[in-house]
Amino acid sequence: MSGKIPVGILGATGTVGQRFIQLLEGHPWFEVTWLAASDRSAGKTYAEATKWRLNTPRPKNIAEMPVSPAIPEGAPKLVFAALDSTAANELEPLFAGAGCAVVSNSSSFRMVADVPLIIPEVNGDHLKLLQTQKWFKKGGFIVTNPNCSTIGLVMALAPLHLKFGVEKVFVTTMQAVSGAGYPGVASLDILGNVIPHISGEEEKMETESRKLLGVMNGNGVTPAEILIGAHCNRVAVEDGHMESVSIKLRRPALPEEIISAWNEFTGLPQKLRLPNAPEQPVVYEPAQDRPQPRLDIHRGAGMATVVGRLRPCTLFDWKFTVLSHNTIRGAAGAALLNGELLKVLGYIH
């Protein structure tokens, strides 16, 4: 036995499931011992059930591992879930009710009052909500991470909200095709094109951001009083969500103060030295034409948010550009960091 905590991946054959496998290889605390997917994959080896689509080799031990049915029997106590919302609605409560800690990347339960929606650097204290979940006394619970576009936005907003207060936000996204999963957007729809609609995305950014930046109030979260308007677009970029952001602050700030707030921002993951925590979670890139997906998405091993082009805004106070890796920081890496925080805080044994 390795002495590591056994973990499972629910929805292991999909894009985010594969990213979980990649990020968990050689993890100092966790070891993948169970994979589950749909009925058409169950009973096959992982190699037989999937076409590996990442740019690192599929781990040999994973390739030979059998794919189990998506039922709690035989699952380890810690499960990372990479399910679409329809499957998550049914399966995540089933696993939580069976005593599993479900660390979810799905949107299904993010806005449920007793479910923590977590970015560890921003609102790790919201994990206290777990104690109000009906499954908690039996050892089961659900924790979620935000939408892939919300994470980059909130990582950039949190240091400013903490120091100056954020009153209004206007954001336009340019989101990579990998955010749509595989096969995602048809090539003849996206090549040489921009699609100005991603179902549900704008609403997620506007509501999730307020919950993430809100404060604990007894057994619930009071959302932040911030007005947020979002426009979301799909563009022909493989990985990396870019966002053009304008903000109005509650108190004045100089540009050097804003940049310092970003570069000096840290949280629980850095304090606790979690394995997947970037040393600097928000990085300001001073070059005039940065950040760019091709050059900057792998900062902090894909876990850092890169900000650039800070300048005055004629409508609000300031405007800037944000970039984050949508399948690492925006999906599997976000959930993995949540799992690491849960372990250190004693929610997972």
Catalytic residues: 148, 241
| Per-residue three-class SS string for 12-62 | CCCHHHHHHHHHHCCCCCEEEEEEEECCCCCCCEHHHHCCCCCCCCCCHHH
β-bridge pairing 30-37 and 5-10: parallel
Q: Rounded CA gap, 241 and 153, in Å?
A: 10
Put the strands of the sheet holding 318-324 in their side by side order. Answer: 194-195, 227-235, 166-175, 241-249, 318-324, 305-312, 282-285
* Helical segments of the chain, H only: 15-24, 46-49, 60-63, 85-97, 120-123, 148-163, 187-190, 201-212, 255-263, 268-271, 293-296, 333-344
- Rounded alpha-carbon distances, angstroms, from residue 242 to 36, 72, 171, 204: 32, 38, 10, 16
Are 111 and 134 contacting, i.e. CB atoms less than 8 angstroms apart? no
| Residue 284 DSSP label | E
